[in-house]
Structure 1
């Protein structure tokens, strides 16, 4: 029976949250998103409904704060650690997601509990991808920080939506010619690259 027959009013689960991530990624990579959605046993209707419910929670004037919302949906973080970014102290919360076992969903919290950032990062101990040329920059192959380190200096670009980021950098093509590249990320995961010029 199709999974879109799930009862209304049910709790928002980690499965639903993965569908929310996929819904935003579908704008760039519908093929891998369709494969991942099927792997989760979810219908297209499920994905749309999960996104609708998530947006309602985010926009609700009576809803929980972002940190409390993530805890209610994903449970207690797998890890919590202090982090210093420039002059700012924060705490990083991380959760595993079955779709991306080598990654973790990370939320950075300010001392007052406000969420500064939320995205996918490499799991501790998981091998980072070897990023040397444009050919290595396949969709879903790397995170924002991995691409920025591999092709430093990278310049951050404003994304087209709150969950999107961009990087501009130079990278060699398969023949060793350095190219100007713009990479687009959704929820911290690489979606596509474009070569300028």
Structure 2
């Protein structure tokens, strides 16, 4: 279980008709994570001091807003809830230019919520990434792949070459990778991520390939 830092958000909780707050947005992220890994989510919910009903209501309100035909563009929606980004930077991915906007979320002080926006305002990606001033996790063995321990990019770099897998929802990603255990035995593993954060691992097509890792 991953310890959850103190993350209480100032101000009174919003109700079904009140403003949608940064706390509510954190509950939206937690609600989707609960599908794969309810343990850390329950710990985080208790640390935030909110009920299960409040988390469900926040997710319901967010989904209704996203699916509404009158919904504002995704970038404007995030700014209306989270405020101005902590940072903005131009980024080039392949042949495409985009803007990376990042926000701080109290529940994950070492991470930032990032969106990648195309020049026409379309949001390409929405996920959690490591904060620039936070040290990266130590990822050497399959035992290091614990819930909430790393982001998609960190796992892919640590156990390259990792193969991306199609997620079961827009906020989910998967990686097929090979990682040694503490004895040096290699295992094929499927790592599952929600909002860019590792939730769980499962055995891949073959496990216990045997022998020490190459190199």
Q: Same fold (TM over 0.5)?
A: yes
Structure 1 residues 100-159: Cα deviation after superposition (integer angstroms, max 9, x where no partner): 000000000001110000000000110000100001000000000000000000110000
Tell me the equivalent position of 1:144: 152
Aligned counterparts, 1:19-38, within 5 A: 19-38=27-46
- 1:6-155 → structure 2 map (5 Å cutoff): 6-155=14-163
SS in 1 for 2:59: helix
What is the alpha-carbon distance in structure 2 between the residues aligned to residue 22 and residue 171 of structure 1?
27
- Distance (whole Å) between structure 2 residues aligned to residue 169 and residue 128 of structure 1: 19
Query: Is 1:160 aligned to 2:168, yes or no?
Result: yes
Give the TM-score of the pair, scaled to structure 2. 0.88
Structure 1 CA distance for aligned equivalents of residues 187 and 51 of structure 2: 40
TM-score, normalising length from structure 1? 0.96
2:195 — aligned with what? 187
Aligned partner of residue 145 in structure 1, secondary structure:
helix
Separation (CA, whole Å) in 1 of partners of 2:66 and 2:166: 21
For structure 2, the residue ranges without an aligned partner over 5 or more in a row are: 1-11, 207-215
Root-mean-square deviation over aligned CA pairs: 1.2
Preserved CA contact (<8 Å) 2:16 2:57? no
* Separation in 2, partners of 1:6, 1:129: 35
Aligned pair count reads 194
Q: Which consecutive unaligned segments of at least 5 residues does structure 1 have?
A: none
